[in-house]
Chains A and B, each alone.
Chain A
């Protein structure tokens, strides 16, 4: 449950964040092209602001939904908060451990076995060694891949890979969880299970940042919503305030 919005409970503060991408007009990838262009002064840029002066605070226990059309800057703000992108201007202050679920299974090595990948992927997500050893069985049980865990990942079906990835990513109880539209993977049975797991994670007092186009999900899970449009905050407020406006 969201608590009082005091500085003590502040988890993320996004302050005046702008993200500018310089798009080189027909971008050059080679040394020769860049040098010749630079010499002939034809290296021109077109600036594109993916985010412009975005500010908001997230408090402990908030489940913040981020809505907006394609290209509104939703994924960019998630990447900035996770530390992957560095904003051109402005600051992001974070407290607590973050687990970004931007893409499941990034960092899997397909030549390694499922078991080895649990540890590799876990390490990439920032889990402790001891934690992974303790929870290994839990991950395995959730993924239901007991028979295949010592096989190299390249022999897995894509559904099996996703199941493994999901099981690793959701075993933690991070203080901040960042989710970019991934709630259910695998077959119908596993989808139900993973959906339940996500709901459990998001309802368990974790601070969640959640991007989705499914307004029903947003309504059900979030207590606050931010509406981004063309890189700026169009509206911010409780779910009941923002959702009706966004739909129109």
Chain B
């Protein structure tokens, strides 16, 4: 086992934090500028908070380095150590899944672009022209496409991750590898697809925007998309933990999930818009607040269709959903993982 390059991790982490801060500030600049807290510009408060955070981070890393020198254990060290130790395996498993997915298809990776586009096209024709569900939604094609991309991202990840433990049964009973690696790598490899399908979404938006009335332009808020994607990723990993561990004990979960995810899909405003129900069924709008997918999809739509940063409360809600899902999944997984091998 090679030594943990703590210094390098530290440098990278500083870069990442700064990157996150810059992305947020630049992306939400129009919302941030006029805001004030107790008379002080919000921007200044944020900058100060960020500097404080960085200082705390540096202190924490000093503590970790000291711990490492003295051979003491610390949670942070343990975490960095495991990721460092298994990073090669994680890399290999993710690239395997990704290679396998399109290995024998002619168009290969282009399916990641084509698939959501074709889905959007079909649904656009059906719901916009044949059934006329679009209501008063502006830019319905983009509205639909963003919903499809995010929903597919969630559905792909959770379905793949669900089978990650049972699918690797031969490995788990033969070699010791921390088991959480399997669902996490599955979610990651499926998530790469989601990232790829963001490309046609942005492209279509850019092209469509030129011909639409009123014009629709992508602007600096695009920089906020990584936040939405990150929340979604964490949510997916949590869901993957939960489903994969349940799946070991009850294979029925696979079929139940098929039904349940379909219900969930129709309960999420992908093809319809909530504004249709505001007058008829207000309770539905209230209920929708408890659907995490609604919040994620809204996040993306606000950024792409309105060209504005979501309300700051919306960040909080998305982060909270992700954190709750992750914690729930992680606890279930941790409690049951020692018994996996007995049931595989």
Contacts and interface: CB of A to CB of B under 8 A. Distances in A.
Contacts of B219: none
B250 A119 contact: no
B334 interface: no
B275 interface: no
Contacts of A103: 170, 174
Contacts of A187: none
Contacts, number: 74
A112 B91 CA distance: 15
Interface SS majority for chain A = loop
A31 B252 contact: yes
B89 A123 contact: yes
Interface residues of A, number: 32
A225 to B, nearest CB: 25
B212 interface: no
A128 B2 contact: yes
A109 B94 CA distance: 13
Nearest to A180: B174
Interface stretch (A83-91, A140-148, A190-198, A240-248): A83-91
A106 B96 contact: no
Nearest to B171: A107
Interface in B76-101: 88-89, 91-93, 96, 99-100
A97 B176 CA distance: 12
A29 B253 CA distance: 11
A102 B174 CA distance: 6
Residue in B92, B96, B175, B176 with the greatest tally of chain A CB atoms within 10 Å: B175
A207 interface: no
A68 interface: no
B30 interface: no
A123 B1 CA distance: 13
Interface string B307-329: 00000000000000000000000
A29 B174 CA distance: 22
Contacts of B250: 29-31, 34
Given A84-B176, A106-B175, A123 B342 contact: no
Contacts of B338: 86
Given A30-B250, A31-B250, A111-B100, A128 B176 contact: no
Nearest to A21: B342
A125 B175 CA distance: 7
Interface SS majority for chain B = helix
B64 interface: no
Contacts of B176: 82-84, 98, 100
B251 A112 contact: no
Nearest to A85: B341
Nearest to B100: A111
Interface in B326-344: 338, 341-342
A120 B341 contact: no
Contact of B175 (A34, A85, A107, A128): A107
B173 A112 contact: no
B34 to A, nearest CB: 50
Contacts of B1: 97
B103 A111 contact: yes
A20 to B, nearest CB: 10
Contacts of A79: 173
A85 B339 CA distance: 9
21 contacts: A21-B342, A31-B250, A34-B250, A82-B175, A84-B173, A84-B176, A98-B176, A100-B174, A100-B175, A102-B174, A103-B174, A112-B100, A116-B99, A120-B92, A120-B93, A120-B96, A123-B88, A123-B89, A123-B92, A124-B171, A124-B175
The 9 A-B pairs at the shortest CB distance, nearest first, are namely A83-B176, A106-B174, A123-B92, A123-B89, A31-B250, A129-B88, A31-B252, A86-B338, A107-B171
